[in-house]
Amino acid sequence: MSLQFYNTITHRKEKFNPISDEIVKIYTCGPTVYNSAHIGNFRTFLFEDLLKRYLIYKGYNVYHVMNITDVDDKTIKRAKKDKKLFEKLTSKYSALFMKDIEFLKIIPADIYPRATDHIEEMIQMIANLEKDGIAYLSKDNSVYFRLSKDKDYGRLTNLNLSELKSTDRVINDEYSKDNPQDFSLWKSWDSEDGDIFWDSPWGRGRPGWHIECSAMSIKYLGEHFDIHCGGVDNIFPHHENELAQSISVTNKQFVNYWMHSEHLQLKGDKMSKTQGNFYTISDLISKGFLAEEIRFVILSAHYRTKLTFSIEQCSEARSAIQRITSLYNRLINIANRNLSKFKLPSEYQDFITALDNDLDTPKALAVFFKWIRSINTKLNNDHDMNNGEIYGGIEFLNIVDNVFGFLIKENFAPQEVHSLTVEREKYRRTGDWEAADQIRHKIYELGWIVEDGSDGPNIKPKK
């Protein structure tokens, strides 16, 4: 099977064909920095990380842009009319976001453009739309996108204009629009904004949220690029409107593949900052969870299914991560360093076939854990494994780690500890518990703890 992704705009899985052989261009909607990002946001960011890691594994070069939404209604509201406070607030939460990205082992984007650094580009785009009669200035000096001028509006959601009129999905909080469905490109200043505003041909104000992503994606990726991602709540109105604006300015297709991850829920509700039902990454760190465990909980569900998050899942993930790490330790320990050839296990192909099929992570991980079970049984029963097979196993674990980021590499014990563990296993098998205990003590003095699990010995650093 060749690589295929579910494309939101066509509602089906499609073979992935990049625009250029040289580089795959991806735009992902970044965080709104008025608060700490929560684990729901990170479900989307981890899905995007998996997508990127897999494309890299498949041999593509990836250029990734993630914007930082540092101006919108929420950031302005929290800054209470004060531009200095506004800048302090958005810098603080941008920096926290970067720390969380690093902690979670998310491969950083190539660039993180901030909306407030691109006001000029947004103004230019709005001016172009106005020149073409697609945007209009309202009585209150805001600028709106005239939906009736875009006959194909509703490309992503399949909503047409008459359906839109009959839904309550359009927030009609602006009174001076020609039509309630029109959405704002530029919002005029209001006394609630205090000294947070930018000058424009239409007077003081600030950009609408959707134009931010149109301007920044086109600036950094061009008028037509490969993949645009976000969570499902971004589909409407954000991406629908972003697409309408971009196509109206460029007359190009804009994006080939739209990919959206489903929501992370907490007790049946969408995790969200506005509802206050969320865990941040620092909440999870303070509960003692590791990045690998959090990654495991999120990535073991398919990105297009809803996932209910719980603290118990993180605890369960702990044993899965330990099994992976201890098998890696075991194989490294018995591998003969003079490697000539290795053979990947037969499960590898099934693992790749699952990921090629729209990143089917539950299936890929089921295959992987089946392999872990069988290899541990072999090792426990002293079945002969040749060096090629051992290295094939190490290589498979490295591949899984490249794609999922599950291995706890800093927990790899030095060779001496591995050799002692092997020696201790021999004593244990012959029932010489005293000798086994003496070695356990030696290992402890070297700073490591050896635990006997059902998969075999597990080596952990002494805390």
| Interface ranges with ligand AMP (CB under 6 A) | 29, 31-32, 40-41, 43-44, 69, 230-231, 233-234, 261, 263-264, 270-272
172 contacts 204 by C-beta, under 8 angstroms: no
Least distance CB 93 / ligand AMP (angstroms): 10
Residue among 50, 213, 281, 321 that touches Zn ion (CB under 5 A): 213
255/420 with CB nearer Zn ion: 255
29/122 with CB nearer Zn ion: 29
89/439 with CB nearer ligand AMP: 89
123 contacts 135 by C-beta, under 8 angstroms: no
Amino acid identity of 197?
F
Q: Sign of dihedral through CA atoms 203, 75, 107, 1?
A: negative
- 29: contact with Zn ion by CB under 5 A: yes
For residue 448, the cross-strand partners are 461
Least distance CB 373 / ligand AMP (angstroms): 32
Measured from each CB, the residue nearest to ligand AMP is: 231
HSE-CB for 147 with a 13 A CA cutoff? 22
- 65: contact with Zn ion by CB under 5 A: no
- Rounded Cα–Cα distance for residues 155 and 136 (Å): 22
Q: Could you say which of ligand AMP, Zn ion, none residue 207 binds, taking C-beta under 5 to 8 angstroms by partner kind? A: none
Q: Could you say which of ligand AMP, Zn ion, none residue 200 binds, taking C-beta under 5 to 8 angstroms by partner kind? A: none
105/270 with CB nearer ligand AMP: 270
Least distance CB 18 / ligand AMP (angstroms): 22
Distances in Å between the Cα of 424 and the Cα atoms of 326, 329, 419, 446, 463 are 16, 15, 9, 15, 22
Q: What is 252-302 written as a DSSP string?
A: S-EEEEEEEEPPEEETTEE--TTTT---BHHHHHHTT--HHHHHHHHHTS-
Least distance CB 72 / ligand AMP (angstroms): 8
Per CB under 5 A, the segment of 29-37, 105-113, 125-133, 330-338 that binds Zn ion is: 29-37
29/215 with CB nearer Zn ion: 29
Least distance CB 117 / ligand AMP (angstroms): 17
- Rounded Cα–Cα distance for residues 358 and 10 (Å): 14
28/300 with CB nearer Zn ion: 28
37/459 with CB nearer ligand AMP: 37
Q: Could you say which of Zn ion, ligand AMP, none residue 213 binds, taking C-beta under 5 to 8 angstroms by partner kind? A: Zn ion
Q: Could you say which of Zn ion, ligand AMP, none residue 71 binds, taking C-beta under 5 to 8 angstroms by partner kind? A: none
Residues sharing a CB contact under 8 Å with residue 346, sequence separation 6 or more, in sequence order: none
212 contacts 219 by C-beta, under 8 angstroms: no
Least distance CB 58 / ligand AMP (angstroms): 24
Per CB under 5 A, the segment of 96-104, 209-217, 220-228, 450-458 that binds Zn ion is: 209-217
- 9: contact with Zn ion by CB under 5 A: no
- Triad 214, 216, 220: Cα angle to 5°: 120
Least distance CB 281 / Zn ion (angstroms): 21
Q: Could you say which of Zn ion, ligand AMP, none residue 75 binds, taking C-beta under 5 to 8 angstroms by partner kind? A: none
Could you list the beta-strand ranges (E) of 39-194.
62-66, 135-137, 143-145, 183-188
253/272 with CB nearer ligand AMP: 272
- Rounded Cα–Cα distance for residues 237 and 233 (Å): 8
- Rounded Cα–Cα distance for residues 72 and 69 (Å): 7
123/390 with CB nearer Zn ion: 123
- Rounded Cα–Cα distance for residues 241 and 211 (Å): 8
Footprint of Zn ion (CB under 5 A): 29, 213
